[in-house]
Structure 1
Amino acid sequence: MSKKTTVRTPSAAVAKMAADWEVITALLGGTSAMRLAGEQYLPHWPNEDPNAYEIRKKTATLFSAFARTVEVLSGKPFSKPLTIEDDTPERIKQWSEDIDLQGRNLHAFAADICTEAMAYGAVGILVDFPPVSKKKVRTVADEKAIGARPYFVQINYRNLLGWKSKRIGGVETLTQLRLLETAVEPDGEFHEKEVEQVRVLYPGRWETWQERAVTGGEKEWQKVDEGVSTMPKITFVPVYGKRTGFMTATPPLLDLAHLNVEHWQSKSDQQTILHIARVPILFAKMLGDAPIVVGGAAAVKSDSEHGDLKYVEHTGAAIEAGRLSLRDLEDMMRQIGAELLVIKPGNTSITQTEADNEPGMCTLQRIAQGLENSIDEALQLMAEWVKEPTGGHVQVFQDYGVDSLAEASMELLRDMNVDGTFSDESLFYEGQRRGLIRPELTWEDEKKRIAKNAPKPSAPTKVDKVAAG
């Protein structure tokens, strides 16, 4: 018998997208989250002792390739300040200094939106307006006096339960949107409690639903509040990482995420075999029943010509094979991340074709361009709230595409080197391996050349001498 659906039940489209979010959340949570997931991402092998598995799980550490790549790539469009164009109304420019009424300016808000879209594939911007009393607020001056104005809300798709839409005027338009929220209610004199609720948006009105107890001790979802909105539309704008349809998307780095899980499993195996290899086994053959004492001042005696006593050690072949396998996985993960920076011929928009601009763009530039368009749309909704004719436009930095995969992966490694997570020496050899550095050069010689380039201390001036003396 099928489970009864409620206002809280995710739609089929959301459930399909959510299947990919679980691994993303675990990887972004780092080593602790991956350990907590247990057998979901670190299998318990057949006949493996439960205690041995627990030890293996507690000592496993995550190589955070996915999280680091998301951070580096989503940061590139915001390595330069977001530009608010001159056609933006002055008061919207002022509101952009605190666009979400939580202290984030538009640049910081957009950067967080980009990170979420890069990781999960999609995120939303809800343009909201605080509820005001019509008795207290009757004019624009009244709104200014109480600080009432539209603001942005970041809606993560993990809090999206479903939607309905239909084509209006040739445009696919939202007619219903369900959002999962957390309401905070008093719990006694000193405490508060969090209550799960669903907000349902319609054009021009809204509802909130909560689960309440009914007769017989059961619970059911009931409408607890409702109201009207002055906007005749649902003021929600999706931002896509990799769009698959209206309101739907997939994580652009999903393949990297799965490779990162494989690396987590393989690295755990490598740690296990290293532990085994580092502990040699003492092998005794035909030594009789006499106790064995091993040490620098001890001797072991055997009455048999076939007697033997020796340490049996691992040959190391499997260790080397595992090390190479891990390195190959790391290379593949870097390449998947780097592919988003490679300009692809023919990947042009209609606007670019008409303007005769560059013949192509990289995936990251496309994501940034989509983000820019979504912010423009959200600014327009903000303008409509306050009867401004236009919301203006923004520009997001997009000049970071490269021509080849080798150059793109080198860009990622260089960013890691700058923030201290990749050494100078490793960066040198990775550049050499990609053919970007001449093969006859050595790191030792290059270090000497770098030392010669260091600024030399200048001779003390008269002012320095006076200050010192």
Structure 2
Amino acid sequence: MTVSARRDDFISYEKKYTLIDDCTRGQDAIKNGANFQKYLPLPLGVASTESKKYKLYKELAFYPNIVGRTSEALTGLAFRKQPSFNPEAIEGIEYLADRCSLDGEGVTQFSKKILSHVINYGRAGILVDFPEYGNPTPSIAEKEANNLYSYMAFYPTHSIINWNHKQVGAVKKLNLVVLHEEYLDFTKFDSKYKERWRVLMLDDGVYRQLVYDQDSDEPTKTFTPTDYGENTFSSIPFVFCGSTNNNSDMDKPPMLDLCHANINLYRLYADHRWILHNMADPFRYITNISKREQEDLERQGIKSGATKTLMLSGNSTIGNLELQENSSLSNEIDRSVAMMMAMGAKMVKNDSVNESATAAKIKASTEDSVLLSVMGNVSSAIDEAIRYVCMFEGAEYIKGAFSLDKNVIEEITEAQTLSVVLQAVMSGNSPRLPLYNALKSINLISEDMTYEEFIADIIKERESFNEFS
């Protein structure tokens, strides 16, 4: 087995990841990528993707990137409020607020990248590392002069190709991670992408790093990282972040079902636009003509228009047959769009609109939405990465240094619920009790106010308004 070997469960997810890649990248990837025929099969009567008919069929097709927009909206919603991060509470890691990665991202930007990837693919990884330097315990002056700070490196799920655990007592301990990397190899006037594999492993309980280049069967670099006190690590400073939990299992990508629905909608749009294109020119028909007239017309071609004359026998008629749009196809498109909107909304909140407020609260205590689950997992993963940063920097770790504010979800959904209830009451289609409960649930009226007092206040306000009018 070579260093580039991939786990079977990773291989089983590769096609799913390719689908999500293409769906999130948009129309160009769907229509012109390697899998274009898989996404848009040959229509009936078309033999080849090189035929003019198929090329026109594909050109007319439209891919509405609902997957990409949903992913962006969910990420934006999760970061509607600034994450809670207090670097001053841990002396020595204040720099993370402005630069926690080699790309110069602050911890908020970095966590946003992690969350966006997990929302799409269900999994990501964070490696905490320290730059190569001769002195394992550099002074503050050396750190500042040479930018020597431990950092977090983001690894997409595609790059985490192998991993393993070893049971130590009652605990499963991560003892191997293999990361596939692509990097730019620069020469004087040129550059090209090359591959390498970074192996993180426990060797007799000591954490080591090995780097294999694409043309080498042996490691070209070997490291034994140490903490600020020059102690070796007994665990691998790599953190998994998933959509379900933060273990190493392959979680189902939250966007996968939406991707399948988006491809189905793309095909419906293709068929619909193909039909509309073929309906644009009416079918011309002629009845009651002789065989000779038919042959003459076929030989000469049928000319029509204000300046053209068509000579036919006495009982002949000519007309245009106009096709009607396929309403069943239009209805199916509408249903598909509505279904995808519902799927996206369910990722934000699982509560059914038909549940009572009490039932919804009971359910919310035991079941998170996909977005809430991912937000919690990202918070935990970043916090664990900060723990490793503290080990590298010689800082005292304080648990809970970073967290995303989950209240943004409740505030949005409660406001939406209040809007629906208020509209129903104003239209006369609902009693006032649901409005009373909705206002009370978001603390817009006092917890001590009874329903009778609420109604009495409404009547009093109405009487005052009438007197004023």
Question: Smaller-chain TM-score range?
Answer: 0.7 to 0.9
Residues 438, 51 of structure 1: alpha-carbon distance in 2 compared, 3 angstrom cutoff: farther
Return the letter of the residue paired with 1:45.
Answer: P
Return the letter of the residue paired with 2:176.
Answer: Q
Q: CA deviation at 1:33?
A: 0.1
Equivalent pair of 1:11/1:161 in contact (CA under 8 Å): yes
Q: CA deviation at 1:90?
A: 3.2
CA separation in 2, counterparts of 1:221 and 1:314? 66
Deviations 1:149-198 (A, max 9, x none): 111111101111111112335332211111111233343x3112221111
CA separation in 1, counterparts of 2:164 and 2:148? 30
- State which of 207, 210, 219 in structure 2 corresponds to 1:207: 210
Counterpart residue number, 2:253 = 251
* 1:132-143 aligned within 5 A: 132-134=133-135, 139=139, 141-143=141-143
CA separation in 2, counterparts of 1:77 and 1:9? 36
Residues 122, 437 of structure 1: alpha-carbon distance in 2 compared, 3 angstrom cutoff: farther
Counterpart residue number, 2:402 = 394
Counterpart residue number, 1:68 = 69
Return the letter of the residue paired with 2:267.
Answer: Q
Counterpart residue number, 1:293 = 303
Identify unmatched segments of 5+ residues in structure 1. Answer: 213-219, 346-351, 412-427, 441-469
SS at match of 1:181: strand
CA separation in 2, counterparts of 1:386 and 1:209? 27
* 1:357-372 aligned within 5 A: 361-372=368-379
Equivalent pair of 1:101/1:151 in contact (CA under 8 Å): yes
Counterpart residue number, 2:37 = 39
Greater CA drift, 21-30 or 143-152: 143-152
Counterpart residue number, 1:459 = none
For the pair 1:14 / 2:10, whether they are aligned, the reply is yes
Counterpart residue number, 2:269 = 267
For the pair 1:102 / 2:92, whether they are aligned, the reply is no
CA separation in 2, counterparts of 1:367 and 1:185? 35
For the pair 1:177 / 2:177, whether they are aligned, the reply is yes
Greater CA drift, 122-131 or 237-246: 237-246
Regions of 4+ moved over 4 Å: 136-141, 357-360, 407-411, 434-440
Q: CA deviation at 1:55?
A: 1.7
Equivalent pair of 2:88/2:94 in contact (CA under 8 Å): no
Counterpart residue number, 2:323 = 314
CA separation in 1, counterparts of 2:320 and 2:411? 55
For the pair 1:196 / 2:195, whether they are aligned, the reply is yes
Residues 60, 168 of structure 1: alpha-carbon distance in 2 compared, 3 angstrom cutoff: same
Identify unmatched segments of 5+ residues in structure 2. Answer: 227-232, 353-360, 430-469
Counterpart residue number, 1:415 = none
Deviations 1:358-406 (A, max 9, x none): 56543321221111111111101110112222155112121244599xx
CA separation in 2, counterparts of 1:162 and 1:93? 33
- TM-score normalised to the size of structure 1? 0.76
Counterpart residue number, 1:379 = 386
CA separation in 2, counterparts of 1:435 and 1:42? 43
Count of matched residue pairs: 395
CA separation in 2, counterparts of 1:299 and 1:55? 34
- TM-score normalised to the size of structure 2? 0.76
CA separation in 2, counterparts of 1:172 and 1:84? 30
Equivalent pair of 1:382/1:391 in contact (CA under 8 Å): no
Greater CA drift, 256-265 or 163-172: 163-172
SS at match of 2:273: helix
Counterpart residue number, 1:421 = none
CA-atom RMSD, angstroms? 3.2
CA separation in 2, counterparts of 1:179 and 1:138? 28
Deviations 1:279-319 (A, max 9, x none): 112223326125533112444231152x2211122122x2x
SS at match of 1:98: coil
Return the letter of the residue paired with 1:16.
Answer: S
